Chains A and B, each alone.
Chain A
């Protein structure tokens, strides 16, 4: 049987009664439709019926390459999860988790029950905070470098160029080493305030638009009661360490939904 629609999933909760009924009127999903709930085995998935012409496997492969589609879909997926996570404890599911029909979602909830409950338990009363660290003033080393060659060789001579490059490279390596040491101190202190941590790959400069190299892209799972202290710690570290810090959050616990290695 070929169905024209599938079921897109957002997240799973064990307390659907806490979702405000008007959420189902106000929230619109990735396909522009309304949300519905699918329950089995004491767990409930938040779902949307979507067209397979847009969200089927072939279409997904094509659409994921389309930045505009990817962005609007990612934002819609997040908007639903974020709105519901403010009302009820919800473990987010990865973007593009799609089933052929609600019955298959029920089978999944039964099969994956233990894993989903563990995830709910691990993230209860906790939120994710993101901290990105950039090396401070990356150009400082290069600003020193021109003095080395002035007066020693004609501008543009090969020897002067090589001398300047050696100094620049050595200085930039020292800068990088110092930044890494600071990032380790930062991560250790923030990890001590968190229940868990994850390290994402640093984002490339062309994506961040920053001239400074990102040296840490971390996520911290923080007890709600310790959130204010965590944010204060970030502010203190920003003053103390030679790093530029960006704090984001609170996020639904995306980075901690699946059990993974504790990187502390």
Chain B
């Protein structure tokens, strides 16, 4: 099984991996794009779209910093990617 987060428990006996072992991109998909959106006092003018955009820009410009958190590439034999 190639799950990045081996889920071998059912929620009833919910034992999840420590938060620091979850892939950051999966976490950001959820905490930045999910959750109930309520305009707090402070974040009123930080539109949710802005927030995700700002944050993903931070991610993309910091890919090298992110590498530590990512699983190794599935294929490391150097096949050039022409996409």
Contacts and interface: CB of A to CB of B under 8 A. Distances in A.
Chain A interface, DSSP helix/strand/loop, else mixed: mixed
B7 A94 contact: no
Interface of A: 6, 9, 11-12, 52, 55-57, 60-61, 64-68, 70-71, 74-79, 82, 85-86, 91-100, 104, 108, 112, 115-116, 119, 127-130, 134, 139, 142, 168, 198, 200, 203-213, 217, 219, 224, 227-228, 231, 235, 238, 244-251, 254-258
Contacts of B37: 93-94, 258
A60 B43 contact: yes
A65 B19 contact: no
Interface residues of B, number: 61
B42 A82 contact: no
Contacts of A79: 19
A66 B83 CA distance: 29
Chain B interface, DSSP helix/strand/loop, else mixed: loop
B36 A258 contact: yes
Contacts of B62: 67
Interface of B: 1-5, 7, 10-12, 14, 16, 19-20, 22-38, 40-46, 48, 51, 54-55, 57-60, 62-63, 65-67, 69-75, 79, 81-83
A178 B5 CA distance: 27
Closest 8 pairs between A and B when the two form their complex, measured CB to CB: A254-B34, A94-B35, A254-B30, A98-B42, A209-B70, A67-B62, A248-B5, A95-B31
A93 B36 contact: yes
B36 A94 contact: yes
A217 B30 CA distance: 12
B36 A251 contact: no
Nearest to A206: B63
Contacts of B26: 130, 248
7 contacts: A78-B30, A92-B31, A94-B37, A96-B46, A207-B59, A209-B72, A250-B11
Given A56-B42, A92-B34, A206-B63, A224 B12 contact: yes
Which residue, of B19, B31, B48, B65, has the highest number of chain A Cβ atoms within 10 A? B31
Contacts of B3: 246-248
A77 B19 CA distance: 10
